Structure 1
Amino acid sequence: GNGFDANKKVKGIKRNIAVDRNGFILGRYVSSAGIHDSRLASPVCEQVSDAWPSVRKGLVDRGYRGELIENIKRDFNIDIEVCSTPNGTNGFTPKPLRWVVERTFAWLDGFRRLTRNYEITNESAEEMIDFATLKLLLNHVEH
Structure 2
Amino acid sequence: MTLIVDSQSVKGASTVGRNIRGYDAAKQINGRKRHITMDTLGLPVMITVTPADIQDRDAARDVFWRLRLTQPQITQVWADRGYAGELVDWARDRLWLTLRIVSRPKGVKGFVVLPRRWKVERTIGWCMNARRNARDYERLPQHSEAHLHWALITMMTRRLTRKSPRTSHWTKKTP
- TM-score (norm. length: structure 2): 0.74
RMSD after superposition: 1.6
From 16, 34, 38, the counterpart of 2:35: 16
Identical amino acids, percent of aligned pairs: 29
Residue by residue, what CA displacement relative to the aligned partner does 1:10-30 show, whole Å, maximum 9, x if unpaired? Answer: 111000111111322111110
Provide the secondary structure at the position in 2 that maps to 1:63: helix
CA 121–95 in structure 1, closer or farther in 2 if over 3 Å, else same: same
Q: Which residue of 2 aligns with 1:3?
A: 22
Matched, 1:114 2:138: no
Q: Which residue of 2 aligns with 1:90?
A: 108
Stretch of structure 1 that moved more, 6-15 or 36-45? 36-45
**Deviation (angstroms), 1:76:** 2.5
After the TM superposition, which parts of structure 1 deviate over 6 Å for at least 4 consecutive aligned residues? Answer: none
Provide the secondary structure at the position in 1 that maps to 2:82: coil
Provide the secondary structure at the position in 1 that maps to 2:26: coil
Residue by residue, what CA displacement relative to the aligned partner does 1:34-89 show, whole Å, maximum 9, x if unpaired? Answer: 111111112222232233222211111111112111112233322001000234x4
Larger Rg: 2
How many residues align structurally?
142
- TM-score (norm. length: structure 1): 0.89
Q: Unaligned regions of 5+ residues in structure 2, if any?
A: 1-19, 163-175
Asked if the contact 1:3/1:13 (under 8 Å) is kept, the reply is yes
Q: Which residue of 2 aligns with 1:65?
A: 84
Q: Unaligned regions of 5+ residues in structure 1, if any?
A: none
